[in-house]
């Protein structure tokens, strides 16, 4: 059977019998992965009473009906389980937390956002990490209160990953 290159959707052939079966299978696959929503993070065991339309991320060591389908997206349908193998870049949303899950390098990365900058209302508020800033030390006049505040600011910036730790 011929399938599409990226989503592995079944393609119809000229003169093919029962085209509706292949067409419906392609629609099921699209329903699972286009703007996908899964119940939660990866799990290895299928639920005992899944709801029709509920989708799940399968963990690394699946058992039962999911055996041999590690990392797949599983969806329960009127016809039983439907599986979609992920590809690098496939994204879905976890219903349980609202976090995004992205398949990359053979695993689901949850809640991790890769970006070069963050803009809010068109204004850049975060970009790549800057080099470390030297901590205050010495000087002819010691102002402990100012040093404490500067250290707190540096610690907060380092904690957020905006500058490297010195």
Q: Are 40 and 96 in contact (CB under 8 A)?
A: yes
Mean pLDDT calculated for residue range 98-116 = 95
- The answer to whether position 86 is within a domain reads yes
Q: What are phi and psi of 51, to 5 degrees?
A: -90, 145
Assess whether 131 and 106 both reside in one domain.
no
Assess whether 92 and 43 both reside in one domain.
yes
Domain that holds residue 136: 118-159
Assess whether 80 and 41 both reside in one domain.
yes
| End-of-domain residue from the set 110, 127, 150 | 110
How many Cα atoms sit within 13 Å of 122 on the Cβ side? Answer: 0
pLDDT at 1: 62
What is the three-class DSSP state of 100?
strand
Assess whether 68 and 140 both reside in one domain.
no
The answer on pLDDT for 7 being more than 80 is: no
- The answer to whether position 81 is within a domain reads yes
pLDDT at 159: 81
- The answer to whether position 47 is within a domain reads yes
Assess whether 57 and 130 both reside in one domain.
no
Instruction: Express each pLDDT in 124-153 by its tens digit.
Output: 888 887 777 777 777 677 788 888 888 888
Give the pLDDT band of residue 102 (cuts 50, 70, 90).
Answer: very high
Assess whether 105 and 26 both reside in one domain.
yes
Q: How many domains does the chain have?
A: 2
Assess whether 42 and 92 both reside in one domain.
yes
Q: Which residues have a Cβ under 8 Å from the Cβ of 131 and sit 6 or more positions away?
A: 163, 164
Assess whether 52 and 130 both reside in one domain.
no
Assess whether 102 and 130 both reside in one domain.
no
Assess whether 141 and 68 both reside in one domain.
no
Name the DSSP class of 64.
G
CA 158 to each of CA 50, 111, 131, 153, 162: distance values in angstroms, whole numbers, following the listed order? 44, 20, 10, 9, 6
Instruction: Express each pLDDT in 17-68 by its tens digit.
Output: 787 777 777 777 777 777 789 999 999 999 999 999 899 999 999 999 999 9
Assess whether 45 and 122 both reside in one domain.
no
Please classify residue 75 by burial: count the beta carbons closer than 10 Å to its beta carbon, then call 0-12 exposed, 13-18 middle and 19+ buried. buried
Assess whether 137 and 101 both reside in one domain.
no
| Reported pTM | 0.69
């Amino acid at each position: 059977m011929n399938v599409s290159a990226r989503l592995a959707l079944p393609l119809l052939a000229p003169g093919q019998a029962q085209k509706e079966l292949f067409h419906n299978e392609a629609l099921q696959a699209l329903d699972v992965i286009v703007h996908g929503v899964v119940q939660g993070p990866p799990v290895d065991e299928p639920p005992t009473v899944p709801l029709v339309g509920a989708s799940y991320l399968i963990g690394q060591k699946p058992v039962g009906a999911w055996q041999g389908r590690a990392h797949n997206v599983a969806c329960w349908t009127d016809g039983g389980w439907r599986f979609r193998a992920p590809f690098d870049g496939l994204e879905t949303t976890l219903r349980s937390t609202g976090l995004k899950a992205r398949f990359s390098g053979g695993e689901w990365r949850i809640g991790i956002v890769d970006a070069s900058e963050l803009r809010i209302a068109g204004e850049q508020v975060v970009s790549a990490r800057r080099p470390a800033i030297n901590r205050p030390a010495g000087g002819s006049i010691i102002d402990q209160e100012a040093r404490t505040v500067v250290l707190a600011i540096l610690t907060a910036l380092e904690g957020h990953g905006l500058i490297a730790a010195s």
